[in-house]
Amino acid sequence: MEQNKKRLPLEGIKVVDLTRVLSGPFCTALLSDLGAEIIKIEPPAGDEYRHVGPFKAGESALFTLVNRNKKGAVADLKNEVDLSRVLEMARDADVFVENFKPGVADRLGVGYDAVRAINPDIVYASISGFGQTGESSQLPAYDLVVQAMSGMMGITGEPGGEPTMVGESIADLVAGLYGSWAILAALFDRHRTGQGVYLDIAMLDCLFSMMPTPVAQWMFSGKAPGRVGNRHPLSTPFGSFTAPDGRVIIAILNNRQFGALCDAMGRPEIAADPRFRSDEERTRHEPELRDLIESWLADHTVESAIKALSDARIPASPVLEMGDALIRARTGERQLLLTQCHPRLGDIPMMVQPVRASAWATSAPKIAPQLGEHNDELFG
């Protein structure tokens, strides 16, 4: 390879992917973005996400997004011939990923022991809702269930209102992200030690680990936090504020920023008010401070308020609707969506991995496979 030619860091890594729906496919999609060869094995009926809309020309948008860059084959693991084909494929693989309900992979003959018997160096990852062991391991693991059990719903929503789910399948996605991270760490460890490893990745564990703020609130006080709406539970003013034509996000973390905010509002004396002299005091008197800020915003549009705050180097932003965020993702300099030419759908926007690296190649993702598209190539 030429010295200056850009590369993909996982080129040459082979992954056998027996996952479906979201957590597992998202995990392997992230690996595929970095150049790994992903061989997606589906049952004859296909991944459930093939049958979940929205659809266009019979193609699922969700399936297309999270199964980019993969090769696809169909195998009935209850059929001895198909099972032997999958195990043979695992013989020279680097990684094996499954997200069956705990115990199912073993019963089907593709559990860790079966795969390790033919490939002792394999990195084997199992993604499940609640882990491979314990009293909750056999519970159904839908994202909403995990959000509810993690406590995340309990701290999301308005004070006194109902617990609220995050507006995306965050438990699935976080488990997939942690899964890809753990697989990369395991590959690095294998390079040093020559040993494979088994990875037990639980959606609940992963989602809980994403909540250091409520843990910090509880850690010294012993009191579990509740819902605080669209503001930060520990810092003030840090949240969403009302302007005549929309909402403005203001994020203040220290006294210097607060002083700059008071100056920008034309009210420098507020910074010396005993109620607002520290972050702790500002949080204690949040309603009074909110009234002062929204009185200032009453004479501004969202645009003019953002300009005044930005000129004062205060972290601030509008609250974008998803349509506006999608336009920015597609047309912005960071190129979070790239155009892919689909043989049946034409040009479609596709998500890409967001990390930029000086020596890594970036290209439009390849289309998700048709059901069994690569059977001949992979099984001969």
Would you say the C-alpha torsion 25, 27, 28, 29 has a positive or negative sign?
A: positive
Q: Where does residue 247 rank: exposed (0-12), middle (13-18), buried (19+ CB within 10 A)?
A: middle
Peptide bond into 237 cis (omega under 30): yes
Residue 56 CA to residue 75 CA, distance in Å, equals: 26
Strand partners, 347: 341
Is 51 an active-site residue?
Answer: no
State the helix-helix crossing angle for 170-193 and 143-150, rounded to 10 degrees: 90
Instruction: Considering the candidates 51, 232, 285, 342, report the single residue annotated as catalytic.
Output: 232
CB atoms inside a 10 Å sphere around CB 220:
7
Task: Give the number of other CB atoms < 10 A from CB of residue 189.
Answer: 14
What span, in angstroms and rounded, lies between the C-alpha atoms of 380 and 374?
A: 9
Active-site residue numbers?
Answer: 232
